[in-house]
Structure 1
Amino acid sequence: MKRRSNRMLLFVMVLFMVVSTITAANVYVVAIGGIHLRSNTDIIDYSENVHIQNEILLARRGDILDRNGIIIAEDVDAYHVYAVLDGRFDETYVSDVEATSAALADYLNAPVEYIRSRLSVSGAYQTYFGIYGRNLSKSQKSELEALGLDGIKFQKTVARNYPFGTFASHLIGFAQAEDENGNGNVLIHGKMGLELGLENRLVGVNGKKQSTVDRYGYVLPGSKVVQVDPVDGYDVTLTLDKGIQEALEAAMFDTRDAFETNKIWGSVMEVDSGKILAWSQWPGFDPNVLNIDDYMNIGSQYAYEPGSTMKTFVYASAIDTGVYNGNTIFDSSPFRMGIKNGQPIRVNKNQSAIAVINNANNKNWGLISLDYGYIYSSNVGIAEILTKVVDTEVYRDYLDDFGFFRPVDTDSIPEVTGSINYQWPVEKLTAGYGQGVTVTMLQMLQAYSAVFSDGTMVKPYVVESISDPKTGNPVYTAETTVVGHPIQEDTAQQLQQLMYQVVYDQKGTGRFYQIPEVNSIAKTGTAQIAVNGSYEADYNLFSVALAIPAENPKIMIYYAFEAEYARNVHSTTSPLQQLMRKITLAYGFTKPTTDPDDNDKPKVFMTSVPFLTNHSLGYADAKCTIAALNCMTIGNGKSVVAQYPLTDKQVLSDQRVLLLTSQENILMPDMTGWSRRDVLAFFALTHVPVTINGEGNVSSQSVAVNTALDASVMVEITLK
């Protein structure tokens, strides 16, 4: 038994020695010769064809969409074309350089000499074709593949695509793909506009994948794969409306053709919210091809002298401070300016003048009212107000209240702030009609939001929301930002009545902006452009600030252009009329109508206040009846000595018209439900002191109805 155990032990030892010897020999042969003895495999060849593969997992840049979810900017698959030159490593390679050069040059629109030089690089395995072969679309790739060129291959990448081409291009901007390390780590980065300003929201983070693969790129079984997933960028939804934006772009092409303009810019905005529905300029560019002549966003980065659209803010300051009487008559002939106590004054022809202010085209309407000074856009009327009605420093303060000369700060849009020359007396007058003062369209949108509303000024904005593409949940939702209340509601209403007459008076400067579909209000502007320090008579800036519908403004348009044109462009308005029609259709605006099924419902419409001052009460009553006005007599006189609203104003037929007949026997009316505007008008006419508290309409009054009123009675009115 012992002998048998020894033989078994000896056998095991011998077997172990044989196996060890064979293993050692195999290791030796593999180490020295690179051959695996049992399989006869060339280990060197095998190991050289097994390697670690690092793959970049491309992140998606966020989409940019309009308010209705229509894509404005997106990532798309793109392809770089390259050629394999060495047949030792790939069975398909470029074997016919001349034929391939000719075919590629023709398809890529590249010089054939350049393509030939790239295909003739000595010792290269493969070659690319620079800008000519980059970012081909999927359809272009298919077309090139159909040519059947040997050795022509494609590297898949990503590119930014703008489906509508020239579409708010200076606002949207553009983004480009960049290979950050030259190893395929491609990311699309914003270079201009919102693409740049919202870069940290839109850009994604690439992922990576590391694996062990064989010579054919297959992952080795059992090997470890390490992967970090990419993080996509956020989607951004804008306030832009595709249809309105396209209508604005179309208007600019029509304006260009009509006036041979140098530049055009404009915007459409919701009055109450500040949402920008359209924003454009001409010339624009197609971000897909980057045919950019000027990188400046005119709407926010171009400070210009606006001309007569600034007159609105002179009238606003005078009305809001309670010193304005639209019936005041002034001489619209040239305003000869002198100086008294450092302030500008009007001097007569026999006195020395240091400056003369003329109306546009040297017009002279003779004696007209201040109201008509606005309707006709009189520069002389502005000089009259700033020398006789409202102090120039008060006007200057109102410009600050309206947000001029400081940033609007809209959604990372780059902007300038404008400036004002306001040192010398003449500068304080010219600033009133838009010379010596520069503003941006963005500032004008903000300022006019107060004029077209109830005096509330809102910040324009363009980013509606930002959302996570995986969940669809918003990470940011915009809200309307109220930036001030530069004027009272009554002031805004009175300005809107003036702007209604600008459009509907027979001589109003905006009369050609009328369309039958909806009533509008507007202020036009024409300004000479300074070149080399002097104003050019034949080089002008034309603009208009317009809102619809007139009865309750919801949408405003600001539109401007520069052209070597000396005539009145505000008589050729078809480009803007088409834009107004598009907006009217989109929002369902109509002119005021009555309900035929409700005869008891008061019929409300726009009507004109007749001139009743110095006429008998009988005449006034008849005129009020014809105009369907709600007229109220104050005092016990037999004729009208003053009235509110003033003559020829366009008002709603249900607005209260106050007719003062005397300062005696004035009785306190029942003011329940009256507006602040009507309350102020009553006490301004009667010269009875009053204190008004609250906002809204009258809810209570401290003096009983039919109580006699005079200057000794203090009345307190509460609004709710």
Structure 2
Amino acid sequence: MKQRKFINNTKRSFVVIGIITFIFAVLFFRLGFLMIVRKNFLVAKAESQSSYQQTIMPKRGSILDTNGQQLAVSGDVYKLSLDLFEVHNYADNKSRRTGDKPQEIVKDIADKLADILGKDKKEVEDFMEKKNDQGVYPRGLALARKIEKGQIDKIKELRDKNSYNFVIIENDTNRYYPNNNFLAQVLGGVDVDGKGLFGLEQYYNKDLTGVPGISISQVDRKSRDLPYSNQIYTQPVNGKDLTTTIDSRIQYICEKIAEKTMETTKAKGVNILVTDPKTGEILAMVNKPDFNPNDPKKGITDNNALFELWRNKAVNDVYEPGSTFKLVTMSAALEENLTYRDDKFYDKGYVIVDGVPINCWKEGGHGAENLVDLLKNSCNPGFIELGKRLGKEKMNSYIEKFGFGKQTGIDFPGEATGIVKSTSTMSNVDLATISFGQTDAASMVQLIGAINAVFNNGVYTTPHFMKNLSQVDTDGNRKVVATYEEKNSRQVISQKTANTVAGFLEETVSKGSGKLAYIEGYGVAGKTGTAQKANIGGKGYGKDVVASFIGGAPYNNPKISLLVTIDTPEGIEHMGGEIAAPVAHDLFDQIFRAIGYDPTKK
């Protein structure tokens, strides 16, 4: 009997030992799995639960005019995020103490935050119940951005009073445009995260943005900072400031004159571009209609309409320039010695090219003319003759030299390349119409670049906005870190040809079709244009036109050049010489007064 009992006890011992051994083996392998295979994951998870990492956004650099006036600045605001996991954890703990339902506690928190933020209570209540793809309440979900200091102070008071340790307050920045619609399409805009969407904000986004900083601190289970814990802190590097070539005095004048022109002509749009012809610096650029960059979507729900309004038409759009292009044809013919000042022409009112009649704008023609008369009278048949003498290859060669059919290199996103008929596909009729500004299409910046070459002794300069980039160091001292560098400078025509054409353009204003831009003693030189707008699909032309004027002053030592375009003006008067030249007159007069320059004094 004792023997049997001993055997049973021995078996029982082996079973117990076996079970214990099995349990220890499972624990050993589980521990090995956690310590070796899952080590990195668990360490990272532990660190994430015991530390809080905060990104410190840098301050976006300002955009300034050439004299340091602020055009776009960033203000300090705040972002409010919530740890929704801790929100519901807080509600559960409080519920056990007070007996209130957790849902009611969460609702109360939501309503208090909504009152301070001015948000819809239902919207905030719904926010509190958001879960991620795994069905878990997320930790650190943004509830509101761009919060002003007054509101954030109230939220801090609410947090401290009620021990709302799930409330996360971070610094944020907001972009302000202190002059509202002023220079709207040029400056552009940013998204909610401060990233440039269009305009100079987009082109110089990398320079303006800066480098974010970081703060890592140790926290307890309620996400509160632990006392005496080591904090890792990296200072953010603020973005660089962009100083532009824009002169706000000139820009203001152009804005007001463009608004007035929109009213008087009832046009679809008015665009004005003013530059320094010797450097290519853009002193002013206006696109009407415009918008307020502080609220760029106001009143517009259609995306196509929105993007159309945001477009900088002086850079992003092209049109057939019409007679303003004639300065290129004349420059090319003079440079190739194919004509001269007293060259004789006769305009009978039309020219037949390969059986196609091409009319002069003046019924019956201008009769006998010399070379200067062709510009003064804007005579299409005369320029058809110059184009014929040049031929297709030489014509396209000079079109390319003057910067058409390719990007100028302006520091602005989305620059249009224009349309230039290739030599191989150009017919004789094409050559004829190209010579006086139809068939090919160009942007405003391409045209201003071309006339600047004439005013700058035949040397091309790139139209541009950047003057320099600067940054304030830790001692508060401003340091210029980059300046604009001209990369496309080239001799397009000789100085002799350039000066001759500039003189012809002065006579065009003082004695010819541009006379409404004339100001005694100013030496205004320029050319008007009335370009028919091609029908949609490119087949033929409609009744709508773009009236324009391009020029500079004084012609023998120009301080400014400008281009005015008036898209689809209404009324009987629609020619460039009738409605664009007077605009140019007012621009020259007011701009020179504003900058304190008197062309009549030597």
Using the size of structure 2 for normalisation, the TM-score is: 0.75
Give the 3 Å change call, closer, same or farther, for CA 480–584 of structure 1 in structure 2: farther
Determine which of 556, 561, 570 is the counterpart of 1:556.
Answer: 561
Q: Give the C-alpha shift of residue 425 in structure 1.
A: 0.5
Could you give the per-residue CA deviations for residues 99-132 of structure 1, whole angstroms, max 9, x where no partner exists? 998x789x66xxxxx54353467768999xx999
Return the offset for 1:170.
2.6
2:527 alignment counterpart: 523
- List aligned pairs for 1:278-677, cutoff 5 A: 278-291=284-297, 292-294=306-308, 295-339=310-354, 354-360=355-361, 362=363, 364-387=365-388, 389-421=389-421, 422=423, 423-470=426-473, 471-481=477-487, 483-505=489-511, 508-515=512-519, 518-532=522-536, 533-565=538-570, 567-572=574-579, 574-593=582-601
Aligned partner of 1:193 in structure 2 is 199
> Aligned pair in 2 of structure 1 residues 453, 359: CA closer, same or farther (>3 Å)?
same
Q: Indicate if the aligned counterparts of 1:55 and 1:210 stay in contact, CA closer than 8 A.
A: yes
CA offsets 1:47-73 (integer angstroms, 9 cap, x no match): xxx953323222122222111112222
Aligned to 2:184: 169
Greater helix percent: which structure? 2
Equivalent in the alignment of 2:77? 78
Q: 1:201 to 1:145 in 2, by over 3 A?
A: closer
The answer to which structure, 1 or 2, has the higher relative contact order (CA under 8 A, 6+ apart) is 2
Amino acid in structure 1 at the alignment position of 2:448 = L
Q: Sequence identity, in percent?
A: 24
Cα distance between partner residues in 2 of 1:436 and 1:590: 40
| Residue identity in the other structure for 1:499 | L
Name the CA distance, whole Å, in 1 between partners of 2:569 and 2:496: 40
Given that 1:518 and 1:584 are in contact with CA atoms closer than 8 Å, whether structure 2 keeps it comes out as: no
Supply the distance in 1 between the matched residues of 2:379 and 2:205 (Cα, whole angstroms). 47
Cα offset, 1:272, TM superposition: 0.8
Question: Given residue 302 of structure 1, which amino acid in structure 2 is its aligned partner?
Answer: D
Q: Quote the offset at 1:359 in angstroms.
A: 1.9
Q: Secondary structure of 2:434's partner?
A: helix
In structure 2, the gaps of 5 or more residues are 1-48, 99-104, 132-136, 298-305
Q: Is the 8 A contact 2:56 2:171 kept in 1?
A: no
- Aligned residue number for residue 37 of structure 2: none
Letter in 1 for 2:348: S
Aligned CA distance change for structure 1 residues 543 and 136 (closer, same or farther; 3 Å): farther
For 2:392 and 2:81, the matched residues in 1 are separated by: 70
Please state how far the C-alpha of 1:142 moved relative to its aligned partner.
8.8
Following superposition, the deviation at residue 531 of structure 1 comes to 0.8
Q: Work out which of the residue numbers 119, 122, 138 in structure 2 matches 1:116.
A: 122
- Once residues 448 and 402 of structure 1 are traced to their aligned partners in structure 2, the CA distance between those partners, rounded to angstroms, is 9
Say which one has the larger Rg. Answer: 1
Q: Distance in 1 between matches of 2:145 and 2:229?
A: 35
Q: Is the 8 A contact 2:58 2:236 kept in 1?
A: yes
Matches within 5 A, 1:257-272: 257-272=263-278
Q: Deviations over 1:595-614 (max 9, x none)?
A: xxxxxxxxxxxxxxxxxxxx
Pairwise CA distance, 1:215:
8.1
SS at the partner of 2:413?
A: coil
| CA displacement 1:257-278 (0-9 Å, x = unmatched) | 1222223323111111111111
Structure 2 distance, partners of 1:555, 1:162, is: 27
Q: State the 1:330 CA deviation.
A: 2.5
Give 1:67's aligned amino acid: T
| TM-aligned CA deviation for residue 473 of structure 1 | 2.0
Instruction: Give the letter for the 2:335 counterpart.
Output: D
Q: How many angstroms apart in 2 are the aligned matches of 1:444 and 1:327?
A: 27
**1:453 partner amino acid:** N
Decide which moves more: 117-126 or 439-448.
117-126
Deviation digits for residues 409-452 of structure 1 (CA, Å, limit 9, x no counterpart): 12253222122235110100100111111111121122111111
1:458 partner letter = T
State the secondary structure of the residue aligned to 1:393.
Answer: helix
C-alpha distance in structure 2 between counterparts of 1:286 and 1:259, whole Å: 23
1:224 equivalenced with 2:230 (yes/no): yes
CA contact 2:79–2:142 (8 Å) conserved in 1: no
CA distance in 2, matches of 1:255, 1:132: 46
C-alpha distance 238-120 of structure 1, shift in aligned 2 (>3 A):
closer
Name the residue aligned to 1:685: none
User: Aligned-pair RMSD on alpha carbons?
Assistant: 3.8
Name the SS of the counterpart of 2:472 in structure 1.
coil
Correspondence 1:4-83 to 2 at 5 A: 51-79=50-78
Query: Using the alignment, how far apart are the partners of 1:534 and 1:494 within structure 2?
Result: 37
- Residues 445 and 327 of structure 1: is their aligned pair in 2 closer, same or farther, counting only changes over 3 Å? same
2: CA distance, partners of 1:298 / 1:121: 42
**Count of aligned pairs:** 510
Deviation at 1:334, TM superposition (A): 2.6
Q: 1:276 to 1:563 in 2, by over 3 A?
A: same
Higher mean alpha-carbon deviation, 83-92 vs 395-404, is at 83-92
Secondary structure class of the residue paired with 2:456: coil
Cα distance in structure 1, aligned partners of 2:146 and 2:293 = 14
Tell me which amino acid in the other structure corresponds to 2:409: D
Aligned to 1:349: none
Relative to its length, the structure with more strand (as a share) is 1
Q: 1:256 to 1:133 in 2, by over 3 A?
A: farther
Segments of structure 1 that go 5 or more residues without pairing to the other structure are 1-49, 109-113, 179-187, 340-353, 595-720
- Matched letter for residue 460 of structure 2: M
| 8 Å CA contact retained: 1:275, 1:460 | yes
Q: What is the deviation of 1:363?
A: 5.8
Maintained 8 Å contact 1:266/1:560:
yes
Q: CA deviation at 1:207?
A: 1.5
Give the 3 Å change call, closer, same or farther, for CA 53–117 of structure 1 in structure 2.
Answer: closer
Tell me the residue number matched to 1:135: 146
TM-score (norm: length of structure 1): 0.63
Q: Determine the C-alpha separation between the residues in 2 that align with 1:405 and 1:536.
A: 21
User: What is the alpha-carbon distance in structure 1 between the residues aligned to residue 559 and residue 351 of structure 2?
Assistant: 41
Distance in 2 (CA, whole Å) between partners of 1:550 and 1:236 is: 32
